[in-house]
Amino acid sequence: MFLKMFGFGISIIGLKMSSPSKRREMDVMKLMMSDYTVETINDGLNEFNVEFHGPKDSLYEGGFWKIRVELPDAYPYKSPSIGFVNKIFHPNVDELSGSVCLDVINQSWSPMFDLLNVFEVFLPQLLLYPNPSDPLNGDAASLMMKDRKLYDQKVKEYCERYAKREHIANMTPEEESDEEHTSDEESDPSDDDDDIAGHADP
């Protein structure tokens, strides 16, 4: 509370002297006490899933994604690893692995940031403002630049097929990788119907 009295907007000011393990515990606890559903893996705080909702006024509004978070031992001095578990069509998200291309996480991470920043600012900004010039999904980037109407349609199609609450509600950590590969295989026939060249699915 005293941080706000002195005008500091980022809570890390009072945490700089804390050990990485205590900072990790505090940041995860802040997520759990917020509106986010957090599912720990192997009863630890180094790896967990977070339920993330598509931001309002975006093509992804109404979508539900399970985000895998892995915290390195040196967190917050080293950035977390962030990935989408269920599929999303986005230029800066690898369709098969779910890896995210986001400079603030991959290159310019600072211990001043915390996990709430990731879910309340960084990921919503990523979905609101895709960057097709630095893609992880070349097909999505190309389609976005060449045919925005068809790109918008494809994004919404993926939301309907892969990002409903029921798609993540019954997923267990052990099933996630299998579910991802199964989704890739099942998507082939309909993806062919979409007539989008160079689709990333095998």
Residue where the block lists tokens 């052990």 = 174
| Peptide bond preceding 20 in cis form (omega within 30 of 0) | no
Q: Is residue 120 part of a domain?
A: yes
Tens digits of pLDDT across the chain (202 residues): 333 333 333 343 443 445 888 999 999 999 989 889 999 888 788 999 999 999 999 999 999 999 999 999 999 999 999 999 999 999 999 999 999 999 999 889 999 999 999 999 999 999 999 999 999 999 999 999 999 999 999 999 999 999 998 888 766 554 454 444 333 444 444 444 444 333 334 3
CATH no. for residue 143? 3.10.110.10
Task: Clarify whether 101 is annotated catalytic.
Answer: yes
Domain range for 131: 20-169
Q: Is residue 187 part of a domain?
A: no
Q: Is residue 65 part of a domain?
A: yes
**Amino acid code (one letter) for 54:** G
**Which pLDDT does position 191 carry in this prediction?**
45
Number of domain units in the chain: 1
Structure tokens at 201: 């699915």
Containing 1, the helix (H) or strand (E) segment is none
The catalytic position among 38, 101, 150, 196 is 101
Q: Is residue 72 part of a domain?
A: yes
Return the half-sphere exposure (C-beta side, CA atoms, 13 A cut-off) of residue 58: 19
CA dist 177 to 56, 83, 98, 159, 168, Å? 28, 12, 11, 19, 13
Q: Is residue 8 part of a domain?
A: no
Structure tokens at 86: 């269920």
pTM of the model: 0.75
CA dist 187 to 60, 89, 128, 184, Å? 19, 13, 25, 5
Q: Is residue 82 part of a domain?
A: yes
Q: Is residue 105 part of a domain?
A: yes
**Which pLDDT does position 42 carry in this prediction?**
84
Return the DSSP state at 118: I
Q: Is residue 176 part of a domain?
A: no
> To 10 degrees, what angle do helices 138-146 and 148-162 make?
140
